[in-house]
């Protein structure tokens, strides 16, 4: 039997996706597989993507990265969640905090008890029961696995970081693990006659790079997956209408917030991401409802620190590649699809694509059954994330601009319509299989955007009123006490992971 093992992996692209792929594959596959990464400094990288979700931390032990050293290298800060402004109505504020809400009691999740209690006018809001939200509101942070010896889980966190520096950090790490980097521009993709597999890439320099498996991390252009293999793209703009962004750094401000801000604007929203050395800002908007000039003016008028550059324009179409794995090519990052950055899911999708690829790692025949399974799982993950992001636009009572009126009226995917109806009628939300966002995430956004369920679970009527008050009061007290013991976020960064001052 001939040896069909994959011996040569070629990665095209040196953005976050490319260097994450290089670092993870080098670690997992070892020296038996030669890994080459082609990137073009002339083309450059997108270089935004500064907010993450907690799963990114799983990469550190796998890659052997020390968290403090990483945060130091990327000017990183802590992210405990997202603070949403003006989404349900102008003036509204709510959190999508990572981590749990309260504690379950008996068979029921916490929120049903909270729904029962909120009939009372003096009921504290949902986020009094979220350690993450309470710590974020107080600008405090420490690594905390549990709250004392109670059943309450500690803080669940992710990072904000400088996207350029994160790529560079992984590159240094991958270089050390003998990934060969090739500087150059791919100008031609050679396909094999009999089955259309990619055989080799030709660079502008004339060099040819052959491989068994090709990882397309070439960004929006999808050089291999689309340019060569014509895989097709599913456009979701009718559900996610924003199609442009302006990104711009501004001076650091105090306090150093351990959370992202997502501030709704008249035709989109603005992000604020606090880093150690600056704040990352961006205005994501829908070009059908606002001009580029107006969008830039809104962004510049709403910075909380001095602008450090001109706004940088970016264009995108929310959607996904029809197949992320086609023949012997797997697309990751922007080459595989993009959903606007509202819930910071893109870098995570690179990571989950890589773990799927490793679980299904093929031989040189790239069995179509493996590719089909990979694509099925990828689609499931994308579609559930899409639904979650669409929820933020759909569940609005804003009618102060044509954009928000459009969003409130637009049809939504059936899967989301089902979740919404179930929640409205019963107060229940169920996480489907291993979809990314948890019940706690869905609940915070649904309740934060004023969806009022008609009832709660009948079992929540079990405890007496006094028992319920005591149960809720104890959780609030535990959360408040735990937060009071935490240090300031800025102090945590300064003491544990401050980047060296520029020379």
Give catalytic residues, as residue numbers. Answer: 79
CB of 11 to ligand FAD, least distance (A): 9
Nearer to ligand FAD, 221 or 450 (CB): 221
SS3 169: helix
Sign of CA dihedral 138, 139, 142, 143: positive
Q: Pseudo-torsion of CA 356, 361, 366, 369, nearest 10°?
A: -50
Give the binding range for ligand FAD (CB under 6 A) out of 40-48, 83-91, 291-299, 493-501.
40-48
For position 342 contacting ligand FAD by CB under 6 A, the verdict is no
For position 224 contacting ligand FAD by CB under 6 A, the verdict is no
Give the binding range for ligand FAD (CB under 6 A) out of 73-81, 98-106, 333-341, 419-427.
333-341
What is the rounded CA–CA span in Å between residue 213 and residue 216? 10
For position 407 contacting ligand FAD by CB under 6 A, the verdict is no
One residue of 28, 29, 33, 43 binding ligand FAD per CB under 6 A:
43
| Nearest Cα residue to 240 out of 202, 280, 269 | 269
In what side-by-side order are the strands of the sheet with 208-210? 186-191, 198-203, 208-210
Per-residue contact track with ligand FAD, 231 to 270, x per CB under 6 A? --------------x-x-----------------------
For position 446 contacting ligand FAD by CB under 6 A, the verdict is no
Nearer to ligand FAD, 384 or 419 (CB): 384
Nearer to ligand FAD, 223 or 240 (CB): 223
Give the binding range for ligand FAD (CB under 6 A) out of 168-176, 230-238, 338-346, 491-499.
338-346
Nearer to ligand FAD, 14 or 319 (CB): 14
The gap from C-alpha 89 to its chain's centroid, in whole angstroms, comes to 25
For position 219 contacting ligand FAD by CB under 6 A, the verdict is yes
What is the rounded CA–CA span in Å between residue 166 and residue 202? 28
> Annotated binding site for L-tryptophan: which residue ranges?
343
What is the rounded CA–CA span in Å between residue 130 and residue 101? 5
Copy the structure tokens of residue 287: 């070009």
Copy the structure tokens of residue 241: 């209408």
> Annotated binding site: which residue ranges?
14-17, 79, 186, 334, 343, 347
Nearer to ligand FAD, 113 or 325 (CB): 325
- Helix extents (H) in 427-464: 439-448
For position 333 contacting ligand FAD by CB under 6 A, the verdict is yes
Copy the structure tokens of residue 391: 């929820």
For position 13 contacting ligand FAD by CB under 6 A, the verdict is yes
For position 11 contacting ligand FAD by CB under 6 A, the verdict is no
The gap from C-alpha 391 to its chain's centroid, in whole angstroms, comes to 16
Burial (CB count within 10 angstroms: exposed 0-12, middle 13-18, buried 19+), residue 293: exposed
For position 163 contacting ligand FAD by CB under 6 A, the verdict is yes
| Nearest Cα residue to 325 out of 294, 279, 360 | 360
What is the rounded CA–CA span in Å between residue 277 and residue 499? 9
What is the rounded CA–CA span in Å between residue 480 and residue 486? 10
Integer angstrom CA distances of residue 52 from 144, 259, 347, 414: 19, 11, 7, 28
Neighbouring residues of 286: CB distance < 8 A, sequence distance ≥ 6: 241, 242, 243, 244, 267, 268, 403
For position 217 contacting ligand FAD by CB under 6 A, the verdict is yes
> Annotated binding site for FAD: which residue ranges?
14-17, 186, 334, 347
For position 275 contacting ligand FAD by CB under 6 A, the verdict is no
Copy the structure tokens of residue 56: 């990114």
Per-residue contact track with ligand FAD, 346 to 375, x per CB under 6 A? xx----------------------------
CB of 455 to ligand FAD, least distance (A): 37
For position 296 contacting ligand FAD by CB under 6 A, the verdict is no
CB of 275 to ligand FAD, least distance (A): 12
Nearer to ligand FAD, 50 or 387 (CB): 50
**Cβ(96)–Cβ(444) below 8 Å:** yes
For position 15 contacting ligand FAD by CB under 6 A, the verdict is yes
One residue of 9, 11, 14, 133 binding ligand FAD per CB under 6 A:
14
Nearer to ligand FAD, 16 or 75 (CB): 16
For position 75 contacting ligand FAD by CB under 6 A, the verdict is no
**Cβ(223)–Cβ(216) below 8 Å:** yes
For position 51 contacting ligand FAD by CB under 6 A, the verdict is yes
SS3 411: coil
SS3 370: helix
> Annotated binding site for 7-chloro-L-tryptophan: which residue ranges?
79
Question: Binding residues for ligand FAD, per CB under 6 A?
Answer: 12-18, 38-40, 43-46, 48-52, 163, 185-186, 217-219, 221, 223, 245, 247, 282, 314, 316, 333-335, 341, 344, 346-347
């Amino acid at each position: 039997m001939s040896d069909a093992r994959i011996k040569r992996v070629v990665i095209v692209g040196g953005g976050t996706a490319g260097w994450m792929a290089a670092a993870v594959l080098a670690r997992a596959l070892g020296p038996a597989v030669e890994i080459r990464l082609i990137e073009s400094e002339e083309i450059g990288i997108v270089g935004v993507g500064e907010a993450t979700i907690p799963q990114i931390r799983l990469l550190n032990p796998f890659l052997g990265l020390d968290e403090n050293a990483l945060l130091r290298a990327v000017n990183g800060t802590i992210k405990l969640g997202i603070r949403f402004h003006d989404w349900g109505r102008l003036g509204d504020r709510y959190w999508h905090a990572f981590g749990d809400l309260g504690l379950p009691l008996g068979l029921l999740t916490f929120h049903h008890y909270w729904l029962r209690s909120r009939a009372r006018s003096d009921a504290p809001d949902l986020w009094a029961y979220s350690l993450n939200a309470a710590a974020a509101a107080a600008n405090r942070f420490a690594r905390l696995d549990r709250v004392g010896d109670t059943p309450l889980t500690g803080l669940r966190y992710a990072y904000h970081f400088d996207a350029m520096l994160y790529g560079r950090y992984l590159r240094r790490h991958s270089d050390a693990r003998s990934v060969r980097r090739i500087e150059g521009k791919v100008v031609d993709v050679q396909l094999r006659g009999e089955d259309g597999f990619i055989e080799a890439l030709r660079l502008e320099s004339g060099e040819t790079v052959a491989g068994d498996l090709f990882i397309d991390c070439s960004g929006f252009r999808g050089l291999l997956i689309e340019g060569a293999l014509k895989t097709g793209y599913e456009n979701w703009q009718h559900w996610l209408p924003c199609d442009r962004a302006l990104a711009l750094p501004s001076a650091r401000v105090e306090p150093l917030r351990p959370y992202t801000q997502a501030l709704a604007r008249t035709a989109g929203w603005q992000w604020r991401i606090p880093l150690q050395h600056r704040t990352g800002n961006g205005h994501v908007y829908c070009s059908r409802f606002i001009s580029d000039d107006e969008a830039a003016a809104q962004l510049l008028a709403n910075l909380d620190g001095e602008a450090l550059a001109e706004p940088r324009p970016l264009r995108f179409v929310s959607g996904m590649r029809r197949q992320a794995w086609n023949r012997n090519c797997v697309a990751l990052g922007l080459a595989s699809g993009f959903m606007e950055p509202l819930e910071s899911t893109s870098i995570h999708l690179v990571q989950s694509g890589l773990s799927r690829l490793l679980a299904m790692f093929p031989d040189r025949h790239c069995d179509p059954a493996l590719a089909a399974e990979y694509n099925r799982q990828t689609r499931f993950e994308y579609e559930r994330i899409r639904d979650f992001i669409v929820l933020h636009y759909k569940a609005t009572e804003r009618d102060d601009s044509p954009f928000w009126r459009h969003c409130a009226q637009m049809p939504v995917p059936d899967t989301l319509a089902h979740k919404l109806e179930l929640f409205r009628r019963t107060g229940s939300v169920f996480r489907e299989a291993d979809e990314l966002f948890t019940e706690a995430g869905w609940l915070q956004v649904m309740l934060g955007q004023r969806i009022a369920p008609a009832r709660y679970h009948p079992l929540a009527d079990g405890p007496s009123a006094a028992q319920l008050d005591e149960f809720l009061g104890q959780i609030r007290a535990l959360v408040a006490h735990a937060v009071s013991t935490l240090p300031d976020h800025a102090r945590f960064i300064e003491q544990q992971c401050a980047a060296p001052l520029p020379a």
